[in-house]
Amino acid sequence: MDYTQRLKWIENVINAERAELTQSLPVDRMTGNRCPSDTLIKLPVKHVSLFRPEKYESGYAYPLVIWLHPDSGSEHDLHEIMPQISLRNYLGLSFRAPAIDPAAPANGYHWPDSHLFVKQFADNLQQTVQELKKVLNIHEGRIYLAGTGAGCSVATKLLLQAPRFFAGAALLKGHFNKTDFQSTTSVSLKGKRILVDHRLADDSDSQISSQWVTRMWESTGADMQAVNSLKADLNNESELLSALDRWFMEGISTAWLV
């Protein structure tokens, strides 16, 4: 499969597959028409990338990894990231950040530090997932946020904004803002899984340290686990993403045991 395909593949190919399915539906004897299929998917945002695993099995409910790219990245990063996590175990979804520097458009896209933006983004994200569920088997209890850099700040706000929708978040080499956790006093994340990297993308703000970020997450009641990408065995990106795969699978194994 060509993993560089994105929105055009999502809307055109999946809808084409559904059209083919419609051709095979039984004919209604009263009207002579074929029984209608489900509504075609209508994505609420334009700049989306989707990763469908090799040998996709429609009868299996897949975990969904929602990848939030760092500043200067784009939704296309998903197709480099997901194969390094796993080619078979997960569906992947990514969105383009909305801001760009007009003076340097080649520098990629940036996330605004705005709770108002995240509120709207959370609504669009959830609508997108609901639309994709019409044609892809997504496990409702295994929708994870994951990202690096400023994507971790957005993931934090999203999880605190809509805790019931997500199973947790994996935050690697994160960049955080003091305002990310302003909702922690009113939100309980008990039962949610959080993976936090002790290595931050930017520690120039002395008030934001890995210890501070860990304390903030602990205050939510989430199930915390830490990694340290500064260590030799995780310093390589592929090794760190393999560790992310193991963390996802641990959550699935725990759910089976329960």
pLDDT, tens digit, for every residue of 135-150? 999 999 999 999 999 9
The reply to whether 34 falls in a domain is no
- Report the CATH number that the domain containing residue 174 is assigned in CATH: 3.40.50.1820
Is 45 a residue whose pLDDT tops 50? yes
Nearest to 211, CA basis, from 224, 198, 226: 198
The reply to whether 30 falls in a domain is no
Question: Residues 209-233, buried b or exposed e (16+ Cβ, 10 A)?
Answer: ebebbeebbeebebebeebebeeee
Q: What is the Cα–Cα distance from 3 to 214, expressed in whole angstroms?
A: 35
CA distances from 30 to 25, 34, 35, 37 (A): 15, 10, 11, 17
Q: What local confidence, expressed as pLDDT, does residue 203 receive?
A: 58
Query: Which run of H or of E encompasses 95?
Result: strand 91-95
The reply to whether 14 falls in a domain is no
User: How do residues 93-118 score in pLDDT, each as one tens digit?
Assistant: 999 999 987 777 778 899 999 999 99
Give the residue numbers spanning the domain of 206.
Answer: 43-257
Stronger pLDDT, 203 or 18, i.e. the higher one: 203
Q: What is the Cα–Cα distance from 121 to 125, expressed in whole angstroms?
A: 6
Nearest to 130, CA basis, from 3, 51, 191, 41: 41
The reply to whether 231 falls in a domain is yes
pTM equals 0.83
How many separate domains does the chain show? Answer: 1
pLDDT band of 204, cuts 50, 70, 90: low
> And the tokens for 65?
């990894």
